[in-house]
C-alpha cells in the first residue's frame, strides 16, 4: 500500500477514534463533526516567501509563525530571505504574495535564535513581532500598520523560572485591545510563564509575569474582546481560559474533545456561536474547531486535514492557526504548507467600538453576548425585523429568573442592552429575548 493511501487511512482512523472517545468525556459533545480539506494551500517550495537557501544552496524552511491582520484580513508571515528577517503579506483570498513589510536593521539587532519568530495584531491592525530567545534579551517590534517601519518597543532580559531545558520566549504572542489601550502577552516553548506587558506612550512596560503549573501555557492566545480572560494552550495541557490580570486558570476543554498536544489557538465570536481553533503537534493529530459558546459544554465541530504526504520535509509543530476576518480559518504547519479552510460557522459579530448595521434585519435574531465569558458586565445585541415590545430575562442553571431587562417598544433594526451581573455568582446562565410573540434563548458564562 503506498504512502498516500496509508496517510489518508490513518487520518480517517484517527477521526473515527476521536468520535468514539467523545462519549468518555465528562463534557457532552456532538459526534457529527466534519472532516475538511483546504480551499487552497501553498507549498513552501512553490513560493519564495516560505523558504530561504542554506549555505549548500538547498531550501531551508524557516517560517515558524504568522497571523491574520484583524483589520485588513491579510495573512502576515515572518520568514527569512537571503539570511535576513522579513514579513510576507499574503492575500487570504487565494494565498498570493502581496509584498514584504518594511524592515530595518533594528530587527536584526538581537542575539537571538531567530530575530523574528511570531507576529500578532490588534483588532485595529497594529502589528507586533517578537524574537525567539533562550538566554538573550526578549525583543518586541511594532509596526503601526502594514506600510510602517518597525520600531523596538521592548528590549530586556526576562528570566523563566520553572522552565525546561529548552525553555524559550517568543513562540507565544498575543495582542489585546485597540488604540492606546493595548496589552501584549508573551510565552514560549517549555516556558510555564506568561509575561504581561502594557502599552505606555509608544513602549511596552512589564505589568506582570505569571508562573503557571504547566509547561506551555501561552503557546497561543485567543483574545476574548472586553474580557480579562483569553483562550490559551500548549504542549501537554488542555486548552483553557486564562485570566491575564490575576494569573488564574479557568475552564478547560476536555482532552477527549481537543487533544492536549496543541501549540496555537485562536478565538472568534460569530452569529452562530463562539469558537476556538487549535493546532496540533503535527502530524500526530489534526487541526480542530470547537464550539465554546457554552464553555462548560464544548462541541467538536470540525477536523481539518493536512496529509503528511503533502509535507516537504521537517514536519514540526503547528506554525500558527487563526480565524480569518470573515470567520474562516488559516493554518500552517511549521516549515510546511500554508492552508485556508472554509468552516461555515457564521459571520463575526461586531465587538466594542465596531459599527453595528442600521439596516432592517430580515428576521428576529439574538446574538451571542459580548464579551463571553464576562465579568461583571456584558453586551447583548438583538435584531428586529419589525417593531415589537422587548424584554430580556436571565435565568440561572436551576431555571430561576435572576434578572429582567425591560427594553420597552423598539423599532425594527439592531439594538444593544447592557447586563450587569455584579450580584451573581460565577456560572452558566440563560438569557432569553422576548420580542412580541418571538422567544429566543442563548447561554452566557460569568467568570469571577
* CATH code of 399's domain: 2.60.40.1930
**Is the model's pLDDT at 400 over the cut of 60?**
yes
- Which comes out higher in pLDDT, residue 121 or 352? 121
Same domain, residue pair 304 and 380? no
- Which comes out higher in pLDDT, residue 263 or 194? 194
Q: 287, 35 in Cβ contact below 8 A?
A: no
- Rama region for 56: left / alpha / beta (φ>0; ψ in -120 to 50; rest): alpha
**Is the model's pLDDT at 5 over the cut of 50?**
no
**Is the model's pLDDT at 255 over the cut of 60?**
yes
Among residues 341, 356, 375, the one where a domain terminates is 341
Among residues 309, 341, 373, the one where a domain terminates is 341
Same domain, residue pair 153 and 59? yes
Same domain, residue pair 251 and 391? no
> Environment class of residue 172 by beta-carbon count within 10 Å: exposed (0-12), middle (13-18) or buried (19+)?
buried
Same domain, residue pair 165 and 236? yes
The number of domains in the chain is 2
Give CA angle at 155 (154, 160), nearest 5°. Answer: 100
Categorize the per-residue pLDDT at 142 as very low, low, confident or very high, splitting at 50, 70 and 90. Answer: very high
Categorize the per-residue pLDDT at 4 as very low, low, confident or very high, splitting at 50, 70 and 90. Answer: very low
Residue whose C-alpha is closest to residue 298's, from 252, 259, 249: 252
Same domain, residue pair 429 and 290? no
Residue-level pLDDT at 300: 85
- Which comes out higher in pLDDT, residue 162 or 339? 339
Q: 120, 174 in Cβ contact below 8 A?
A: yes
Same domain, residue pair 301 and 379? no
Categorize the per-residue pLDDT at 22 as very low, low, confident or very high, splitting at 50, 70 and 90. Answer: very low
Same domain, residue pair 121 and 168? yes
Residue-level pLDDT at 12: 38
Same domain, residue pair 296 and 377? no
Residue-level pLDDT at 280: 72
Same domain, residue pair 207 and 336? yes
DSSP-assigned letter for residue 188: E
Q: Could you report how far apart the first and last alpha carbons of the chain are, in Å?
A: 55
**Is the model's pLDDT at 422 over the cut of 80?**
yes
**Is the model's pLDDT at 166 over the cut of 50?**
yes
What percentage of the chain carries pLDDT values higher than 70?
A: 78
Give CA angle at 318 (314, 320), nearest 5°. Answer: 130
Categorize the per-residue pLDDT at 98 as very low, low, confident or very high, splitting at 50, 70 and 90. Answer: very high
Mean pLDDT of the chain: 80
Cell numbers found for residue 432: 432569553
Q: Give me the half-sphere count of Cα atoms (radius 13 Å) on the Cβ side of residue 430.
A: 14
Same domain, residue pair 303 and 398? no
**Is the model's pLDDT at 24 over the cut of 50?**
no
Q: Which of 67-71, 142-146, 210-214, 324-328 has the lowest mean pLDDT?
A: 210-214
Give CA angle at 319 (71, 195), nearest 5°. Answer: 75
Same domain, residue pair 96 and 228? yes
**Is the model's pLDDT at 309 over the cut of 60?**
no
Domain containing 395 equals: 365-446
Phi and psi, residue 108, nearest 5°: -100, 10
Q: How do residues 190-216 score in pLDDT, each as one tens digit?
A: 888 899 999 999 999 999 999 887 655
Same domain, residue pair 376 and 437? yes
Amino acid at each position: 500500500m503506498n504512502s498516500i493511501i496509508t496517510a489518508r487511512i490513518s487520518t480517517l482512523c484517527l477521526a473515527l477514534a476521536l468520535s468514539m472517545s467523545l462519549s468518555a468525556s465528562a463534557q457532552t459533545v456532538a459526534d457529527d463533526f466534519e472532516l475538511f480539506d483546504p480551499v487552497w494551500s501553498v507549498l513552501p517550495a512553490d513560493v519564495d516567501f516560505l523558504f530561504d537557501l542554506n549555505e549548500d544552496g538547498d531550501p531551508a524552511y524557516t517560517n515558524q509563525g504568522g497571523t491574520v491582520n484583524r483589520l485588513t484580513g491579510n495573512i502576515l508571515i515572518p520568514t527569512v530571505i537571503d539570511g535576513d528577517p522579513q514579513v510576507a503579506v499574503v492575500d487570504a483570498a487565494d494565498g498570493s504574495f502581496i509584498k514584504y513589510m518594511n524592515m530595518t536593521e533594528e530587527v536584526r539587532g538581537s542575539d537571538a535564535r531567530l530575530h523574528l519568530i511570531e507576529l500578532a495584531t490588534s483588532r485595529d491592525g497594529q502589528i507586533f513581532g517578537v524574537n525567539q530567545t533562550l538566554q538573550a534579551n526578549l525583543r518586541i517590534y511594532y509596526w503601526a500598520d502594514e506600510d510602517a517601519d518597525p520600531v523596538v518597543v521592548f528590549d530586556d532580559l526576562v528570566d523563566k523560572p520553572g522552565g525546561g531545558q529548552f525553555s524559550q520566549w517568543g513562540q507565544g504572542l498575543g495582542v489585546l485591545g485597540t488604540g492606546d489601550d493595548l496589552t501584549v502577552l508573551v510565552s514560549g516553548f517549555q516556558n510555564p510563564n506568561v509575561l504581561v506587558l502594557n502599552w505606555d506612550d509608544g513602549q511596552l512596560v512589564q505589568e506582570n509575569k505569571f508562573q503557571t503549573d504547566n509547561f506551555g501555557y501561552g503557546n497561543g492566545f485567543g483574545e476574548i474582546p472586553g474580557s480579562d480572560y483569553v483562550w490559551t494552550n500548549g504542549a501537554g495541557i488542555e486548552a483553557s481560559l486564562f485570566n491575564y490580570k490575576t494569573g488564574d486558570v479557568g475552564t478547560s476543554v476536555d482532552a477527549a474533545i481537543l487533544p492536549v498536544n496543541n501549540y496555537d489557538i485562536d478565538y472568534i465570536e460569530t452569529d452562530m456561536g463562539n469558537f476556538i481553533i487549535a493546532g496540533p503537534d503535527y502530524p500526530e493529530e489534526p487541526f480542530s474547531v470547537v464550539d465554546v459558546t457554552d464553555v462548560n459544554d464544548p462541541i467538536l465541530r470540525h477536523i481539518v486535514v493536512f496529509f503528511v504526504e503533502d509535507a516537504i520535509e521537517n514536519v514540526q509543530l503547528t506554525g500558527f492557526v487563526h480565524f480569518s476576518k470573515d470567520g474562516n480559518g488559516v493554518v500552517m504547519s511549521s516549515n510546511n504548507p500554508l492552508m485556508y479552510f472554509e468552516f461555515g460557522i457564521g459571520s463575526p459579530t461586531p465587538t466594542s467600538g465596531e459599527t453595528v448595521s442600521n439596516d432592517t434585519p430580515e428576521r428576529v435574531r439574538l446574538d451571542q453576548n459580548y464579551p463571553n465569558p464576562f465579568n461583571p458586565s456584558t453586551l447583548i445585541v438583538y435584531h428586529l425585523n419589525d417593531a415589537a415590545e422587548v424584554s430580556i430575562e436571565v435565568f440561572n442553571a436551576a431555571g430561576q429568573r435572576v434578572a429582567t431587562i425591560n427594553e420597552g417598544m423598539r423599532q425594527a433594526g439592531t439594538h444593544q442592552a447592557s447586563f450587569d451581573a455584579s450580584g451573581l455568582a460565577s456560572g452558566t446562565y440563560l438569557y432569553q429575548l422576548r420580542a412580541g410573540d418571538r422567544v429566543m434563548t442563548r447561554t452566557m458564562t460569568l467568570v469571577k
